[in-house]
Amino acid sequence: MHFRWSREDEAFRQELRSFIKEVLPADWTGYREGTDDWWEFFRWVGRQLGARRWLVLAWPEEYGGLNASYWQQLIFKEETGYHRVPGINFNGVNNIGPSIMIYGNEEQKRKYLPGIASGDLFFCQMFTEPEAGSDLGSLQTRAIRDGDYYIVNGQKIFIGDAHVADYGWLAARTDPGAPKHKGISTFVIPTNLPGITITPIIDAAGEHLLNQVFFDNVRLPAENLVGVENRGWYQMMTTLDFERSGMERWAPAKRLLDDLVDFAKTEKKAGTALPAPVRYRLADFAVMSEVGRYLAYRVTDMQTHGKIANHEASISKILAATLYQRLANFGVNLLGMYGPLSPKSKWAKMRGEFERYLLATIPTTISGGSLEIQHNVVAIRGLGLPRG
């Protein structure tokens, strides 16, 4: 088999690279500062991408897309991921927007999808709770119908970007008496409603990405229910299938590997070759990276043929999360005494990116469903094995 991109696809890739070179500073590292200036730049880049309709290339034109092929969408994710381009609200573009397109009514589609496509609306995903992480069926946040409203009470935790989001994609229990995986519904909820309190969680890397979200008798209009009441579990699973399937995991890992290979080439002692174990490990990572890239291509091919990747998405997620963690750990050790230095240290090599990534990749094998959950999905839905 000879795999080649079309002339149109190659032209789009070159146009995208020219754009990236134009908007990103020459010394751009992708380091997330979390300051007001950083977020302002993030939103600005997002709107530039949205103005070109690149954020949602494959979406219908009526919702802000270009009706482009899924392959061009993949090229976009590959290039922006590799170059660490900010401005992409992954929750809105990858997970929530497609879910609204499937389950939302026409009014909801017109209200939210164009804003996601333009980069004007920023979404966060409100699933995880203190007692319901990967086991989402155990969530306890409640949304009880009261006339034209739902009254929301409960708590969410580890919610990425909730402090800067305009809306949340909320999963809540609407029938407390229903069995574990039933009685759950999904909503679009404005983050500025009275009764919502968002508090920061500073992660191991010292960054403010995650948050706790508290709901105290929040009055949410019933029109914000997406899909069918009490069918939210199945809609959540669709959202997670979108979350687990993207190239955006593989392209940054490939960039990290390329940076590490360049460092290994330039930092070796004059006249000496890299030790064989180091070369072998780098070669293993290169093979793993290529396998992962084609797994992502497989998901794109399924989307092209109108299929929703399920266990295929889980396979991609397992390998991507594992590669990212192992690569970051190996990089810190390869740098020796310089490895633990943060990006803020003047002595840091490679801008301290491996110290940052080592800490940042800790949750990658948990978020979006832990590896144990992913292995179960592959075993049961992929291999047809009985539930244990």
Taking alpha carbons only, the member of 331, 320, 338, 328 closest to residue 358 is: 328
Supply angle C-alpha 41, 206, 48, rounded to 5: 15
Phi/psi at 384 (5° precision)? 75, 25
325's enclosing H/E stretch is helix 311-334
What is the rounded CA–CA span in Å between residue 207 and residue 19?
28
* pLDDT averages per 10-residue partition of the chain, 388 residues: 82 97 89 81 96 94 93 93 93 91 95 96 95 83 97 96 96 92 95 98 84 98 96 80 66 90 75 78 94 87 81 85 89 89 86 83 77 87 86
Q: Is 243 assigned a catalytic role?
A: yes
The pTM of the full predicted model, rounded to 2 decimals, is: 0.87
- Using the CB atoms, write b or e for 245-257: b if 16+ within 10 Å: bbbbbbbbbbbbb
Taking alpha carbons only, the member of 339, 358, 367 closest to residue 204 is: 358
Per-residue confidence (pLDDT) for residue 44, from 0 to 100: 96
What is the rounded CA–CA span in Å between residue 33 and residue 39?
9
What is the rounded CA–CA span in Å between residue 279 and residue 273?
9
Per-residue confidence (pLDDT) for residue 246, from 0 to 100: 63
Taking alpha carbons only, the member of 58, 120, 220 closest to residue 112 is: 120
For 296-354, write each residue's pLDDT tens digit.
888 888 888 888 777 888 888 888 888 888 999 999 998 888 888 888 888 988 888 88
In CATH, which superfamily holds the domain spanning 124-229? Butyryl-CoA Dehydrogenase, subunit A, domain 2 (2.40.110.10)
DSSP-derived secondary structure letter, 91:
I
| Active-site residue identified among 79, 243, 312, 355 | 243
Is 1.10.540.10 the CATH classification of the domain at 7-88?
Answer: yes
* Dihedral, 136, 121, 20, 304 alpha carbons, nearest 10: 60
351 conformational bin, left if phi > 0, alpha if psi -120 to 50, beta if neither? left
290: tokens are: 């290529």
Domain boundaries, the chain: 7-88, 124-229, 244-382
348 conformational bin, left if phi > 0, alpha if psi -120 to 50, beta if neither? beta
Q: Which CATH number fits domain 244-382: 3.20.20.410, 3.30.390.50, 3.40.50.720, 1.20.140.10?
A: 1.20.140.10
